[in-house]
Amino acid sequence: MMCTKRQILLLSSSKVHGFEFLEYAAQDINDLLNQNKVSSVLFIPYALSNHDDYQSRVEKPFKHWGYKIIGIHTQEHPVHAVEQAEAIFVGGGNTFRLLKKLYDLNLVKAIRKRILEDGIPYIGASAGTNVATRSINTTNDMPIVYPPSFEALKLIPFNINPHYLDTDLDSKHKGETREERILQYQEEEDASTVLGLREGSSLYIQGNSAILKGIHKARLFVKSKQPIEIEVGTDVSYLLKE
């Protein structure tokens, strides 16, 4: 998968214990936007129901950093807004709700073209990270609505599990662990690799290069292999060749 123009930052979450909203990723966000001389960011709030409130929350850090936030929900023609965007930020919430809205408004192909062909920056957090991947099969969210497909933007050729949680060996909870659920997904014939991003970890993709960033390690699930730990700073560009 040769996509030399893509510039993508995928965050496990926008909220991390001990940090303000998006604070842990501030340097990476600013580096990405500054190197592209971005002045305004198109914000896609569809993962939550109260779009205006969500935009207000997102505007606070971005305004502090010197960027104007444009809520796509305030635009008369969403596809045109994507076509004119300097950069796109897709926030977290419910992944099924988000993806359904992207399909309903014919935004899937429009966003994909802007990122993979035109090379504008894409920043995703949680659900916004899920929809950037091959499919939303490894989201943690409940299917509160039904999108026409689980296939997502396919900006990268594998899946991510945001908010990845390690097994608590002292817990008395007997339900399935996150690792067990991911391994169950990989029992399916068409399952892909899954990168489990713990809160505070992120993936930075530039062209055909990918590096784990943030403040915590990630856990990598390759089908038919034992899961492994990925240290911050590790080059995982090989995942883009899947």
- Catalytic pick among 13, 141, 192, 202: 141
* Tokens coding 82: 């994507």
* Residue 163 among the catalytic residues: yes
How far from chain centre, in Å, is Cα 172? 31
Burial status of residue 41 (CB atoms within 10 A of its CB: 0-12, 13-18, 19 or more): buried
141 annotated active-site? yes
Q: Which residue in the list 12, 14, 126, 202 is annotated as catalytic? A: 126
Of 195, 205, 204, the residue nearest 163 (C-alpha): 195
How far is Cα of residue 79 from the mean position of the Cα atoms in its chain?
A: 20
**Look-up of token digits 């444009």:** 70
Active site residue 28: no
DSSP strand E in 95-242: where? 121-125, 159-161, 194-197, 201-206, 209-214, 218-221, 228-230
What torsion, rounded to 10 degrees, do the Cα atoms 4, 7, 8, 14 define?
170
What contacts 209, CB < 8 A, 6 or more positions away? 235, 237, 240
Q: In this structure, how many other beta carbons lie within 10 angstroms of the beta carbon of residue 99?
A: 29
Q: Tell me which H or E stretch contains 60.
A: helix 51-65
The residues annotated with a catalytic role in the active site are 126, 141, 163
